[in-house]
């Protein structure tokens, strides 16, 4: 990312912005907040409200024309709008003039007439037939007026006579014939000879002729105007006005002296050259352009790489919290792994996991057929998260096998042990029967999760070149793993007196040493007093913040509190048990025993599953999200990044 | 007193009070959410966290009540009955505190987010920390039930 600094003449600035808008490669920096820094040398650029009002005016006028003509707002792809060097005011004036020249009124009349005739044709049930070429005998406006008059006559006749009154018909024919300069007597004689007036065909023919006349009128109107087809010119005008409006809005970010304008903009490394070329070309060399790398601690917008379809839901979860800052680790890929794991631990169930997988596959298939814009909000979210449901379901199935759950602890599947690390059993037990094992497992998972966060923090510090801060997360990691090891080695917090007596050397190595290092490194990086302040802060935070369970455990404070702070990840256990218990409730009600599902139990199990999957599923989802947002992101993901949104006409 | 009656009182507390806390939380946050939804519907999906966390309180109560219910036949002594009652009181107090926290923080969070969406990530901490209080109570109540 590079920073462009541009000084240009006042007269050129509109063209410069237009040119950059066309390329869509720069993001203008709002300079208004920095105006004070220049001590009155520069003032903020004031965009006159007249311009903006005129833009809105013109837009609403154009929209009204669209509505009157019954035309649609289509995207205008084909036509490229040339970049002019004129100021916005002149461009808008031209647009207004062009708009006035457009024969909108006459065309509106044409559309109205066409629709009236079509309606009448439908009512009378006239079959379409070939009409010989018609010629407009008078100027378009007059012809239209005549056609309208005749049409209303026909309408009246159709209403009053129902097309069967011969006398009335003869009168009408007389008037019509008189206007069309047909020999009335000859016509009437014809009718008299035939005796029966075939009124309907006559009107039908007349109506079709009128329709043709209107079409002709329309064609000639469009042919007369210089601007070509009205629809397209309206679209073009609309686009011009919209661009001008954006150009004007964007200029609010600039600052100016008496005759020159100064602005700064972000541009990616690849596009620097093009941006500079464009500015120089438009201003014919009368501008000063420099490009600099961003200052070390400046907030640089980040270019967000598009993620594959199956990660979109996870991307949304991360970006709802906030965007990563430039150079930070983007946690989407890691989250796509940890999120299902934590969800699966809380929602461990083979049967319900399988339902999630099926649901996910169906949603994914549906998404290809349904247009996302056409469905409601909730359906849209469901469709987007199709693949995520598959991920979550697979994880649920996996942990269902580990904890032996099939639609609850039905006894159909027996828990499968994945091994044992110290006092931590990974699977091989039923959480409802051995909640303490589950609690230890939950804390173990939490420690791994937090460690991952600390590693990311380390990577971030290195990427930001904060080498003095980089050792701190490593020390935290040391502290976390060390205290966990001590906790495991001395069989829990209840033997804390032994930590200090027999294990004093271990305590020094695993806990006091990293703590000291943390103090020292913070002192080096931030100054000694900040180091002390920071450690006090950490202490206070440790007391109040559940995420820091490890830190507090390390400090070896009163074990009840330590225990209470280890609880953030203990919700893995709590919610896992709740899930199991809720399912168990329905298993008991349905009379399922020892893995045998009687036929009569199935409806009740189905209702239970539905309830559990909707209510409990939502609760578990939100808790998983919370563990990530609060406990995990607080380690490395500040969410303060600004996405790079280049200025471009949309 | 009859141990059976005392443990039933425990169950009443364990299911009744969390449900009331959840209701209060949902009432406060739900109405705030509805008000904001008319102006900023795009924020609803993010802010629904307040209502769901409130609802979770009732589920915690349900869990403890259900655990007590399944132990009801084992409770014969006064000691066991007292443990059942105490665990009910613990979850009741914990969910009331969490409910109070979520209602106040949640409705403020909703208002603040509507005004400035970027403050969401820091403001949500108040809500989730309040909610953690209930988990603490749940765990201790759970452990006490384990000893019956």
CA-closest candidate to residue A145, choices A132, A158, A136: A136
Within a 10 A sphere around the Cβ of A205, how many other Cβ atoms? 13
Is it the case that residue A335 has pLDDT exceeding 80? yes
Q: Which residues of A touch B87 (CB under 8 A)?
A: none
For residue A561, what pLDDT is reported?
A: 32
Chains A, B: CB pairs < 8 Å: 80
Q: Do B142 and A377 touch (CB under 8 A)?
A: no
For residue A170, what pLDDT is reported?
A: 66
For residue A190, what pLDDT is reported?
A: 60
CATH number of domain containing A29: 3.30.70.120
Is it the case that residue A540 has pLDDT exceeding 70? no
Among candidates A546, A619, A630 on the partner chain, residue whose Cβ is nearest the Cβ of B55: A619
| A164 shares its domain with A216 | yes
| A191 shares its domain with A157 | yes
ipTM: 0.76
| A422 shares its domain with A316 | yes
| A404 shares its domain with A317 | yes
Beta bridge partners of A260: A9
Contact A110, A255 (CB under 8 A): no
The H-assigned helical ranges of A102-183 are: 104-124, 140-161, 166-180
| A277 shares its domain with A321 | no
In this structure, what DSSP letter does residue B124 have? H
Average pLDDT over residues A157-167: 57
Q: Do B46 and A435 touch (CB under 8 A)?
A: no
Q: Which residues of A touch B61 (CB under 8 A)?
A: none
Q: Which residues of A touch B121 (CB under 8 A)?
A: 321-322, 629, 633, 639
B32–A contact, CB cutoff 8 A: no
| pLDDT per residue as tens digits for the range B8-52 | 999 999 999 999 999 999 999 999 999 988 888 878 877 888 888
Query: Rg of chain B over CA atoms, in angstroms?
Result: 18
Among candidates B52, B63, B129 on the partner chain, residue whose Cβ is nearest the Cβ of A622: B52
| A275 shares its domain with A356 | no
Measure the CA–CA gap between A5 and A19, rounded to whole angstroms. 16
Residue at A26 is within a domain: yes
**Lowest-confidence segment of A8-22, A300-314, A559-573 by average pLDDT:** A559-573
Measure the CA–CA gap between A572 and A418, rounded to whole angstroms. 18
Residue at A423 is within a domain: yes
B35–A contact, CB cutoff 8 A: no
Q: Do A639 and B125 touch (CB under 8 A)?
A: no
Is it the case that residue A140 has pLDDT exceeding 90? no
Domain count, chain A: 3
Residue at A549 is within a domain: no
A27: domain range? 1-45+254-301
Instruction: Examine the fold and report which residue of A180, A200, A222 is the final residue of a domain before the chain moves on.
Output: A222
Provide the shortest C-alpha distance from residue A107 to chain B (in Å).
39
Domains of chain B: 3-146 (1.20.120.610)
| A358 shares its domain with A389 | yes
Instruction: Examine the fold and report which residue of A275, A301, A327 is the final residue of a domain before the chain moves on.
Output: A301
Q: How far is CA A499 from CA A141, A482, A542, A558, A644, in A?
A: 102, 12, 20, 13, 52
B102–A contact, CB cutoff 8 A: no
| A320 shares its domain with A379 | yes
| A396 shares its domain with A337 | yes
Residue at A248 is within a domain: no
| A394 shares its domain with A415 | yes
Measure the CA–CA gap between B139 and A288, rounded to whole angstroms. 67
- Find the residue in B nearest to A641 (Cα): B118
Residue at A334 is within a domain: yes
Instruction: Examine the fold and report which residue of A205, A222, A239 is the final residue of a domain before the chain moves on.
Output: A222
B66–A contact, CB cutoff 8 A: yes
Q: Which single residue is written with the structure tokens 């074990």?
A: A559
Provide the shortest C-alpha distance from residue A403 to chain B (in Å).
19
| Stated pTM of the model | 0.73
| A311 shares its domain with A412 | yes
For residue B83, what pLDDT is reported?
A: 92
Q: Which residues of B touch A377 (CB under 8 A)?
A: 41, 44-45
Contact A442, A627 (CB under 8 A): no
Is it the case that residue A567 has pLDDT exceeding 70? no
Q: Which residues of B touch A321 (CB under 8 A)?
A: 120-121
Residue A565: pLDDT band by 50, 70, 90 thresholds? very low
| A292 shares its domain with A327 | no
Q: Do A574 and B53 touch (CB under 8 A)?
A: no
- Residue A554 CB contacts under 8 Å (≥ 6 apart), including other chains: A479, A480, A482, A483, A511, A514, A515
In this structure, what DSSP letter does residue B41 have? G
Q: Do B129 and A581 touch (CB under 8 A)?
A: no
Q: How far is CA A456 from the centre of its chain?
A: 27
């Amino acid at each position: 990312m590079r920073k462009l600094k541009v000084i240009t003449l006042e007269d050129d600035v509109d063209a410069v912005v237009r040119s950059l808008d066309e390329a869509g490669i720069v993001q203008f920096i709002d300079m208004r907040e920095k105006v004070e820094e220049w001590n009155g040398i520069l003032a903020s650029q004031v965009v006159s409200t007249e311009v903006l009002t005129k833009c809105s005016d013109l837009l609403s006028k154009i929209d009204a024309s669209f509505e009157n003509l019954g035309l649609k707002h289509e995207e205008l792809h084909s036509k490229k709008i040339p970049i002019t060097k004129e100021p916005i005011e002149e461009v808008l004036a031209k647009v207004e003039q062009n708009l006035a020249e457009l024969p909108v009124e006459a065309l509106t009349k044409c559309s109205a007439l066409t629709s009236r005739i079509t309606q009448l044709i439908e009512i009378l049930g006239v079959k379409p037939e070939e009409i010989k070429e018609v010629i407009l005998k008078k100027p378009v406006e007059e012809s239209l007026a005549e056609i309208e008059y005749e049409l209303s006559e026909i309408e009246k006749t159709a209403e009053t006579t129902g097309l069967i009154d011969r006398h009335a018909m003869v009168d009408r024919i007389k008037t019509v014939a008189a206007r069309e300069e047909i020999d009335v007597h000859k016509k009437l004689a014809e009718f008299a000879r035939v005796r029966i007036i075939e009124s309907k065909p006559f009107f039908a023919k007349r109506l079709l002729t009128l329709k043709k006349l209107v079409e002709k009128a329309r064609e000639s109107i469009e042919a007369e105007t210089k601007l070509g087809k009205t629809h397209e010119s309206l679209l073009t005008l609309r686009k011009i006005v919209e661009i001008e409006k954006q150009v004007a809005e964007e200029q609010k970010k600039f600052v100016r002296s008496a005759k020159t304008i100064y602005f700064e903009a972000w541009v990616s490394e690849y596009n620097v050259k093009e941006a500079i070329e464009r500015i120089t070309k438009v201003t014919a060399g009368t501008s000063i352009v420099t490009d600099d790398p961003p200052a070390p601690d400046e907030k640089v917008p980040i270019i967000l790489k598009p993620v594959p379809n199956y990660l979109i839901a996870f991307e949304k979860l991360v970006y709802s919290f906030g965007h990563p800052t430039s150079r930070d680790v983007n946690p989407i890929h890691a989250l796509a792994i940890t999120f299902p794991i934590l969800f699966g631990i809380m929602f461990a169930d083979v049967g319900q996991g399988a339902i999630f997988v099926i649901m996910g596959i169906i949603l994914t298939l549906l998404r290809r057929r349904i247009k996302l814009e056409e469905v409601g909000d909730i359906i849209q979210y469901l469709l987007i998260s199709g693949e995520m449901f598959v991920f979550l379901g697979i994880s649920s199935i996996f942990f269902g096998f580990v904890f032996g759950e099939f639609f609850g602890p039905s006894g159909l599947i027996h828990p499968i042990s994945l091994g044992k690390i110290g006092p931590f059993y990974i699977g091989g037990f039923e959480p409802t029967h051995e909640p303490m094992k589950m609690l230890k497992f939950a804390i173990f998972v939490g420690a791994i999760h937090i460690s991952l966060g600390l590693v990311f923090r380390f990577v971030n510090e290195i990427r930001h070149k904060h080498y003095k801060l980089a050792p701190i997360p490593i020390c935290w990691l040391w502290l976390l793993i060390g205290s966990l090891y001590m906790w495991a080695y001395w069989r829990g917090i209840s033997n804390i007196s032994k930590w200090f007596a027999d294990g004093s050397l271990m305590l020094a190595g695993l806990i006091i040493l990293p703590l000291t290092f943390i103090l020292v490194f913070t002192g080096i990086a931030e100054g000694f007093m900040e180091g002390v302040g920071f450690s006090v802060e950490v202490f206070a935070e440790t007391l109040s913040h559940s995420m820091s369970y490890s830190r507090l455990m390390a400090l070896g404070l009163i074990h009840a509190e330590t225990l209470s702070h280890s609880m953030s990840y203990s919700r893995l256990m709590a919610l896992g048990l709740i899930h199991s218990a809720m399912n168990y409730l329905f298993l008991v009600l349905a009379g399922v025993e020892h893995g045998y599902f009687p036929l009569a139990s199935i409806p009740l199990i189905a209702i239970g599953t539905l309830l559990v999957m909707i209510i409990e599923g939502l609760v578990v989802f939100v808790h998983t999200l919370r563990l990530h947002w609060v406990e995990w992101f607080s380690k490395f993901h500040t969410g303060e990044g600004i996405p790079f949104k280049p200025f471009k006409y949309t | 007193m009859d141990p059976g009656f005392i443990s039933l009182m425990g169950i009443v507390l364990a299911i009744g009070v969390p449900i009331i806390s959840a209701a209060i939380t949902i009432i406060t946050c739900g109405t705030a959410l509805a008000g904001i939804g008319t102006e900023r519907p795009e924020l609803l999906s993010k802010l629904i966290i307040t209502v769901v966390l409130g609802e979770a309180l009732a589920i915690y109560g349900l869990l403890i009540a259900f655990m007590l219910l399944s132990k009801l036949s084992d409770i014969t002594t006064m000691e066991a009955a007292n443990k059942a009652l105490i665990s009910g009181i613990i979850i009741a107090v914990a969910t009331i505190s969490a409910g109070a926290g979520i209602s106040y923080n949640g409705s403020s969070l909703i208002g603040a987010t509507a005004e400035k969406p970027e403050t969401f990530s820091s403001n949500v901490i108040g809500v989730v920390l309040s909610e953690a209080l209930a988990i603490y109570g749940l765990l201790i109540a759970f452990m006490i039930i384990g000893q019956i």
